[in-house]
Copies of this chain bind each other. A is one copy, B any other.
């Protein structure tokens, strides 16, 4: 099953140096999540050939313009392009009101239903789940209500190991075994899951943390994820800027990654003051070697292990 993250934007508030504002596509099998939606996201989706209509869920972390100003245009375009299937929208209090007022003054209605769920900012909450994944929001510390998101696999199938099984299985039986269930065949043969399966592969997970100041309270939420996206608006040389802006440095992001024992860290949300981003990587890898920089158009696959 595919699990990938495609980066659409890596800049902080002001677009610069060819970097777009925050937006990412997370694809887990057939579920496509758009996380944050800075201005111009619809044009960037087009550039990277993401079919708007296949987006099932949009998750907005907070209501600073660089994280949501592309949303209304995208919703409108989806409608103009004939979308009829409902869209799940998750975001902070206020987002629904902003959309409603824009629809009102434009005397518009969308051709499809937007199912809006307000994110909780006090504690972790499951906001979506289906047969194979679960999405949670969790609080970040920023100048306004802001949440991170955790997308993780659930119900990973047991690996079938029936080469030596002296009976053939029906599809139904085969699927029961994949779930780790034991059962008895009509001839009385006991198919014990422990004997004919191997444990499931590890459930993969991705955590998105933007925007936030350094905050160790998020560690339990993101513990051991395969890929952590953590904002690093600044490098340590400008650490003083993190106080009023409530952002993080690359070193802080790396420290969180290390303490949370994640597999890989991806940095993003770079301030416009940095044209060259090498220093982010240098600073982060000193503490957490497995660091990459988010880059427009890059697709990071999270492989099964």
Q: Which of A6-41 contact B (CB under 8 A)?
A: 13-15, 39-40
Interface residues on A, range: 35 or more
Q: Is A43 an interface residue (CB 8 A)?
A: yes
Q: Which of A33-63 contact B (CB under 8 A)?
A: 39-40, 42-43, 46, 63
> Is the CB–CB distance between B106 and A64 below 8 Å?
yes
Q: How far is the CA of A68 from the CA of B73 in the complex (A)?
A: 10
> Is the CB–CB distance between B106 and A144 below 8 Å?
yes
> Is the CB–CB distance between A143 and B107 below 8 Å?
yes
Least CB distance from A198 to B in Å reads 50
Task: Choose among B15, B43, B72, B95 the residue that contacts A15 (Cβ–Cβ < 8 A).
Answer: B43
Binding site for B on A (CB under 8 A): 13-15, 39-40, 42-43, 46, 63-66, 69-70, 72-73, 76-77, 80-81, 92-95, 97-98, 101-102, 104-108, 143-144
Task: Choose among B42, B80, B98, B106 the residue that contacts A101 (Cβ–Cβ < 8 A).
Answer: B98
Q: Which residue of B lies closest to A94 (CB)?
A: B105
> Is the CB–CB distance between A92 and B105 below 8 Å?
yes
A93 contacts across to B, CB distance below 8 A: 105
